[in-house]
Amino acid sequence: MTNLPNECIQNILQYVNNNDYKTFHSTILINRQWCKNSIKFLWQQPFNIPENFKYRYKLISIFFYFFDVNQNNLLYHNSSTIISPSFNYPCFLKNLHSDNLAKIVLEWIKNHYSTQKKHYNNRPKLYQQKPFTSYRIKIKLLKKIFKTNLSNSSFDTKLLKEQFFLIIQQILNVIVERCSKIESLYIGNNYSGLSDFNFVEYYMENYLLNHDTSKCFNNLTTFNCHQPNIDPTTFLRFSNYVHNITSLSVTISNNNIFDDSKLKELVQLIDSQQNLLSLSIRNEYNADMSLVFEAISRKSYSLQKLELISHRNLKNDEAKYLSNCINLIELSLNGIRICEELDPLLIYSKFLNLKDLRFTKTYQSSSIEVSPFISMITNNGSLLNYLHLDIDLRINSNLLKTISKFCLNLCNFIISIHEGEMLNLLYPIFENCKKLTLISINDVNIDGLTEDILSDFINHISINLTCLILNDITFTLKGSDDNYSLFNLLLGTFLRHI
C-alpha cells in the first residue's frame, strides 16, 4: 500500500463515486501519500455534502484561513480556533452549488454562536462581546425556511443578514481569487416565496453582477440556473467569457425582465458556446421562445440532449427548428399540446442517433384521426432503448403495434394505460421487443382489473422482463416459472387498493 506510485493511487480514486465522501475521508487517513492524492477528490464539491453529515458546517471555518479575519470584527473573536490548513483547499473546487453554500453558512452561524454563547463567561474580558438577544431561537427558526414554507416571521433579521453577507462575501472572494477549475455552477430557487429572507435568494446573482468572475468560471462546463427572476445581465456577462458550457439548464419564470421579452440574453449565451451538448429549458411564464428555438437550430450540429418543459404551444416554425437537431440522442418534451403545428417534428423528423424519447404531460385532442406518434416511432424507433409516452392510447390506436415493430432495441418502456382491458395492447411488445427489461404502466384504473385480465397479462409477460411497475408499485420478476406467485402478488396488491 505504501509503495504504490501516485499515478496508481489516482487511478484507483477515479473509480470512487464523487459523492462518496465517506470513502474519500477514509482514504486521506491511510497515510500522508494517500492524503495528498485523495484531498483533491474530497474537495471537488464540498458544498454538496449531504445534510446528514453532522459537522459539514466546519467547512466554513477552513475558508477563514484564506482571508484576513482581522478586518472582520464579528469574526475576530473566533480566530483563535482556526487551524492553518495543510492544503490550498479552495483551488480543488470544481462544483459550486449556491443553495448548498448558503445552507452551510447558516449552519455555521447557528453552531458558531451557540458555542460562543455557551463559553461566553469563560473568555477573557478583552474578547467578550454582547451576545445576540434570543439568537439561538432566531437561528433555529431560520433553519426551517429550508425545510418548510416559513413566512411572515416577526423577528428582526438585520444582524443575521450582516453575518450572512460578511461570511458569504469573503468565501466567494476566496473562491474567485483561488479557483480556476470550477466546472459546474448551480444557482437554485430553494428560497422562492420567502420574502423575509430574499437576501439569501439573490446573493449569488448580486455577486456575479458586481465582481469579475472571468478567471473563476472560464472553464465552466455545466451551468444550472433556476433562480426566479434572474437578472438577464448574468447571461450576458457569462457569454463574454464562458464559451465551453456543454450542459445548460435554465428556468424562465418571468420573461418581462428580459430585453423586449424575447430572451435575447439567453440566446446570446447559447450562441456563445462552442460545444453545447445538453440543453434544458423550463418555461414557467409562457415566454416568447422564437429566438431561443432559432438558437437551438444553430446548435443542431452539437446538441445531443434536449429537454423542453412547459412549452405548451409550440409553433410550426419552432417544430421545424427542433427537427433540425438530427444528432439528438435524448429528446424530452413536457407539457406540450399535440396538434398539426407539430407535424414537422412528429411526422417528418428523422433523428440519426435517437435512443431516449420522452413525451410527458401531453395535451391531445380526440379529433385527431391518425396518431402523429406512429410516424415519429416509424422514423426514429430503431435505436430507441428508452421510451416514455404519457399519452392517451384511446386516441392513439395501433401505436403499440408500431412500437413492437420498430423499437426492437427497447429496454425501458413507460406508458399510460387507463383501462385494464387495454393491457392486451402490450402483448405484441412483449413478444417482439426481446431486450425489454423494465416496463412501467401508469394511471391504470384498478377497479377495472379482474382476475382474468391479470392472469392473461402475466402469461404474456416476456421472460426477459425483470421489473414491472404498476401505478408506482414495483414488482421484481424472476422469470416465467414464477408467474403463479406473481399473479397472487399482483392480485393481492390491487385487491388491497380497491
The model's pLDDT over 403-414, given as tens digits with 9 standing for 90+, comes to 999 999 999 999
Q: Does residue 243 have a pLDDT over 50? A: yes
Considering the chain, what is the average pLDDT of its residues?
Answer: 81
Torsion of CA 264, 266, 271, 276, to 10 degrees: -160
Nearest Cα neighbor of 235 from 202, 205, 190 is: 205
Vertex 298 angle, CA 296 and 300, to 5°: 70
Q: Which residue has the higher pLDDT, 316 or 19?
A: 316
* Mean of pLDDT values over 448-462: 82
Phi, psi torsion values for 187, nearest 5 degrees? -115, 110
Under DSSP, the state recorded for 223 is: E
Beta bridge partners of 364: 338
The domain locations on the chain are: 1-42
CB 416 within 8 A of CB 386: no
Give DSSP secondary structure letters for 20-38: -HHHHHHHTTT-HHHHHHH
> Which ranges in 299-398 belong to alpha helices (H)?
316-323, 343-346, 372-380
pLDDT score of 448: 75
Nearest Cα neighbor of 224 from 207, 203, 204 is: 204
Q: Which pTM was predicted?
A: 0.83
Q: Which residue has the cell 446528514?
A: 52
C-alpha cell at 79: 480566530
Q: Does residue 16 have a pLDDT over 90? A: no
Determine the Cα–Cα distance for residues 344 and 349; give it in Å rounded to an integer: 6
Strands (DSSP E) found in 238-301: 247-252, 278-283
C-alpha cell at 190: 430553494
Strands (DSSP E) found in 237-316: 247-252, 278-283, 305-309
Nearest Cα neighbor of 221 from 158, 268, 276 is: 276
What pLDDT band is residue 222 in, cutting at 50, 70 and 90? very high
Q: What is the pLDDT of residues 101-152, one digit of tens each?
A: 888 888 887 776 654 444 444 544 434 444 333 434 444 444 443 443 333 3
Please, which residues have CB within 8 angstroms of residue 84's CB and are 6 or more apart in sequence? 65
What pLDDT band is residue 293 in, cutting at 50, 70 and 90? very high
Under DSSP, the state recorded for 44 is: S
